[in-house]
């Protein structure tokens, strides 16, 4: 099950333009995995994950687990 990152708010004190670019991407495009964000923005996956953790601690993003099956899948 993939972890999806979602934009919450623009915090004060974001000085890294790469982190700001991640925030703008999530705000404009909705929830994505860290790998998708890294691939789209051209950053390494390691950098993107570290940046997302920093942004999570600042309250700028949140992470949630996307289930592999939806409720509709269980109805069949």
Which domains are delineated in the chain?
3-67 (1.10.10)
Residue 64's H or E segment, with its range, is: strand 61-65
Task: Give the three-class secondary structure for 3.
Answer: strand
Task: Give the three-class secondary structure for 42.
Answer: coil
Q: What Cα–Cα distance (Å) separates residue 12 from each residue in 20, 23, 26, 51, 59? A: 11, 12, 17, 15, 10
Q: Which two three-digit tokens encode residue 44?
A: 């390494």
The Cβ of residue 44 has, within 10 Å, a number of other Cβ atoms equal to 9
Q: What are the tens digits of pLDDT across the range 16-61? A: 999 999 999 999 999 999 999 999 999 999 999 999 999 999 999 9
pTM over 0.95: no
pLDDT confidence of residue 74: 67
């Amino acid at each position: 099950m993939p972890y999806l990152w979602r934009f919450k708010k623009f915090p004060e004190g974001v000085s890294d333009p790469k982190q700001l670019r991640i925030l703008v991407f999530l705000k404009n495009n909705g929830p994505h995995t860290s790998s998708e964000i890294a691939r789209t923005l051209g950053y390494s996956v390691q950098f993107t994950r570290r940046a997302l953790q920093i942004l999570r601690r600042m309250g700028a993003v949140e992470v949630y687990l996307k289930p592999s099956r939806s409720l509709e899948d269980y109805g069949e």
